[in-house]
Amino acid sequence: MAQATAAKNYAGVWDNRLGFGKKTALLVIDLLQGYTLQGAPLFAPGVVKAVAEMPALLKAARAKKMPIIHTRVFYNPSDFADGGIWIKKAPVLKSLVPGNKYAQFCKGVEPKKGELVIVKNYASCFFGTSLAATLTAMGVDTVMITGCTTSGCIRASAVDAVQNGFRPIVVRECVGDRHDGPHEANLFDINAKYGDVISKAEAMKHIKGLKRQERL
């Protein structure tokens, strides 16, 4: 017996849409040069594409004074104890230390003065950080998720976002991975079970429709 396509199999069961809430923050996850420089162990072609799509989205969000939160990974290079078991599973992450070019933000998507940068040590932006409390204090109920990688930090952050009471909205063109297979599989799964996956065009329309926000 032939198996139905994934879309048909999930239809009516795992295909509900959350939509945007009352206030959205733009979350820019780990757009670091280690993922975009040729020859880097973490190099991911899909992230190069995502970085190219980001400037227009950032420009629109900044024009509306939308909350923008960037994340980066830094480890203590002396013993990597802050990486715990995860860095034992993925020692390639040891390049993400202060002073290493791979740990620097990609050109064109660097945080602007005044934009919050959160340092994280694990996949999820929420795990071991103040992100949830910060969003709550801002009155944010929706996170527009961009960055890398789709199968790692994007998925983990989307799962934790919904588990912490936020609406995860992933912008398809603005996330990337090492390979199309994991990228597409995780976008499918996020859209089915944890949040919404939308196009960049839909994201831009939402941002441009916002009233200019006053920051705290």
What's the confidence (pLDDT) of residue 216? Answer: 45
Among 84-88, 159-163, 166-170, 209-213, the least confident range:
209-213
CA dist., res. 167 & res. 161, Å (int): 7
CA dist., res. 29 & res. 171, Å (int): 12
Domain 20-206 has CATH 3.40.50.2000: no
In tens, the pLDDT along 104-120 reads 999 999 999 999 999 99
CA dist., res. 185 & res. 33, Å (int): 24
How is the beta sheet containing 167-176 ordered, strand by strand?
A: 116-120, 68-73, 24-29, 142-148, 167-176, 196-198
Closest Cα partner for 175 from 79, 46, 57? 46
For the packed helices 45-63 and 200-208, what is the interaxial angle rounded to 10 degrees?
10
Average pLDDT, the chain: 95
What's the confidence (pLDDT) of residue 5? Answer: 86
In tens, the pLDDT along 1-55 reads 556 788 888 887 788 899 999 999 999 999 999 999 999 999 999 999 999 999 9
> What is the torsion angle, in degrees rounded to the nearest 10, for the CA atoms of residue 135, residue 61, residue 153 and residue 179?
170
Closest Cα partner for 173 from 65, 55, 43? 55
Are the C-beta atoms of residues 144 and 25 closer than 8 Å to each other? yes
Stretch 194-213: mean pLDDT: 93
Are the C-beta atoms of residues 194 and 214 closer than 8 Å to each other? no
Residue 174 appears among annotated catalytic residues: no
Are the C-beta atoms of residues 126 and 120 closer than 8 Å to each other? no
Given the residues 106, 125, 148, 153, select the one marked as catalytic.
Answer: 153
Stretch 158-180: mean pLDDT: 98
pLDDT at 215 over 60: no
In tens, the pLDDT along 49-77 reads 999 999 999 999 999 999 999 999 999 99
SS3 119: strand
In tens, the pLDDT along 117-132 reads 999 999 999 999 999 9
Token duo for residue 30: 């780990």
Stretch 141-160: mean pLDDT: 98
Token duo for residue 60: 């629109």
